Chains A and B, each alone.
Chain A
Amino acid sequence: MAGWRVVPVSVTGPEHVRRGAGNQDAFAWRADGDRLVLAVADGAGSAVRSATGARLAVDAACDATAVLDEFGAEPARRYAGRVLGLFDRRLARLGGERGDYATTLIAVVARPPAYVFLAVGDSFLVVEHRDGGAHLVVPPDNGPSLGSTVFLTSRGRATAVRCGVIEDPEITGLALCSDGVLDAVLAAGRDADGEPALLAPADFTAYLRMFADPAARPSDLAERLRSPDFTASSADDKTMVLAVRA
């Protein structure tokens, strides 16, 4: 499919296992001609229908790509509007309060060398450059604590939508992640202005390079996400959708 290998892995967090709550993350990916769309959504732990909300969000991300007649800043905004509109319309057909479906979303529509992205909330996107290492290009949107973020169902959603286009012929890999893996895979550092910032550590590329080998098994990544040290880092559900240029 358009020269990409996609490895989607999602595991239920230990706290959700203990409560019998199930996995409230969702992911989806779809190849459409020369385009590849990838999406990860993280349903809020306390919202009773958040798993459904997360599924609605990733499906909307995949279904809205037709609006992208070209790749650029304005089309990216149109794409974001279409995704949110689809999500809202589909949600309105379901019962319950809107907040019951609280979820974050991160999505990428790839048509190298252009990549349209959309993010609401604390999921994040890392890209790998050929010979340039890994870069956290869409960081998690946190408030003063890790418990602060905005959902697709939030009233303040409009100001929290982040969308745009990345044009870079040297991108060789994409990693869309829910915040359940944040503590385990990102590092604390400083940005160019010397301010504290999250960074993709140099060894993050190992996650992507491993799956450049078609023989590598996604189940190995799932096992890693269930390992004691990952579990210790967060009790939340953990999702990584990796896409590697073949």
Chain B
Amino acid sequence: MTSPAVGFPPVQSSKSRLLITLVVDTSSSMARDDAIGQLNEALRSWRESVHADNHLRHISEIAVVTFGAGGVRVVDPTGHERGGEPFAPITRFQPPTLRAGGFSPMVAGIKQGLQVMDQRRQALAREGIQMAYTPLVFLLTDGAPSDERGKPCELWRNLAPELRRQEQEQGLMFFAFGVRGADAKVLQALAPDKNYQADGTDFASVLGAVRQSIDRVVRSTEGVRTEEMTARLKKRKSAMDWITDHARGDA
């Protein structure tokens, strides 16, 4: 029997991308209550849920930046120990097994995440590949920023306005998600209307919030053009609605 699809050309490769950057805390505090183990497990489950979405599979690329064990590191998202590009198609995402150690250079980690995202965006633009949606950067943490010698660090206060500037210009959307121990005032300053703190070390809930945030962006901007999106954002009371919905289980 002849398939109705026979005779039609195959679908072309994607000309647009969704860039997802995870900036992940791997400092020594993540060893407590095996938070790092729960994070590793949650990342593996999250990968499965993203892979189950045809559209996300078609357009998404992911990068993982860690801060803590080994300082600030750009991890190969395909799971290899060495080499590789910071971003890989989500279809090739194999969450590396992260280990905890060291201090918490969160600000340097976020800056590294922003840099690799911007470099990837520029490289794609040179190839004529556009952004399908605003690039998304997610901070996942259980603590507060330190410098590279473990001293409390206030540099996040300077980073917050830069994040707002980039968001304002639609350069990115920044989310700050944490578990028990995360500094709520830092999360709120870095992402005033897009922060979320789970109970205990429930990284499954945090990764659930990541997935829901992605879905909201994809759904809310599907077919929505910039002019209208700007108007809608002005009307929306707060993007915190997204996170509140998640916390209530309404989403």
Contacts and interface: CB of A to CB of B under 8 A. Distances in A.
Interface of A: 13, 15, 19, 24, 42, 44-47, 99, 102, 142-151, 154, 180, 182-190, 195-198, 201, 203-204, 206-207, 210, 217, 219-221, 223-224, 227-237
B249 interface: no
Contacts of A45: 222-224
A206 B58 CA distance: 23
Contact of B128 (A188, A204, A210, A230): A188
Contact of A46 (B5, B11, B13, B232): B232
Contacts of A144: 130-131
B149 to A, nearest CB: 40
Contacts of B229: 46, 147
A185 B4 contact: no
Given A44-B225, A231-B55, A206 B8 contact: yes
A230 B57 CA distance: 13
25 contacts: A46-B229, A102-B225, A144-B131, A145-B226, A146-B130, A147-B229, A183-B12, A183-B15, A183-B16, A187-B12, A195-B128, A197-B128, A198-B15, A203-B9, A207-B8, A207-B9, A220-B7, A221-B8, A224-B5, A231-B55, A232-B11, A233-B58, A235-B55, A236-B222, A236-B223
The 6 closest A-B pairs by CB, nearest first: A196-B128, A45-B223, A232-B54, A203-B9, A232-B58, A148-B226
Nearest to A143: B226
A188 B15 contact: yes
Contacts of B132: 145-147
B226 A147 contact: yes
B1 interface: no
B129 interface: yes
A147 B224 contact: yes
Given A185-B12, A224-B4, A196 B228 contact: no
A186 to B, nearest CB: 6
Interface of B: 4-5, 7-16, 54-55, 57-59, 125-134, 170, 218-229, 231-232
A203 B59 CA distance: 22
A182 B128 contact: no
B128 A228 contact: no
B9 A206 contact: yes
A31 to B, nearest CB: 26
A220 B130 CA distance: 30
A56 B226 CA distance: 22
A197 B181 CA distance: 49
A222 to B, nearest CB: 9
Given A47-B228, A206-B9, A142 B130 contact: yes
A145 B54 contact: no
Contact of B133 (A145, A151, A206): A145
A198 B128 contact: yes
B217 to A, nearest CB: 10
A25 to B, nearest CB: 10
Contact of A151 (B14, B58, B126, B225): B225
B227 to A, nearest CB: 6
Contacts of A234: 55
B223 A24 contact: yes
Contacts of A145: 16, 130-134, 170, 226
B11 A233 contact: yes
Given A183-B11, A203-B9, 20 more contacts: A44-B225, A102-B228, A145-B133, A147-B132, A147-B226, A149-B225, A150-B227, A186-B12, A198-B15, A198-B128, A201-B12, A207-B8, A207-B9, A219-B4, A220-B7, A220-B8, A223-B4, A224-B5, A233-B11, A237-B223
Contacts of A185: 9, 11-12
Contact of A231 (B54, B126, B218): B54
Contacts of B224: 44-46, 147
B222 A227 contact: no
Contacts of A184: 11-12
Nearest to B4: A220
Nearest to A14: B55
B133 A147 contact: yes
Contact of A13 (B58, B222, B225): B222
A110 B116 CA distance: 49
A47 B228 CA distance: 8
Nearest to A237: B223
Given A223-B5, A231-B55, A232-B55, A147 B221 contact: yes
B126 A196 contact: yes
A24 B224 CA distance: 12
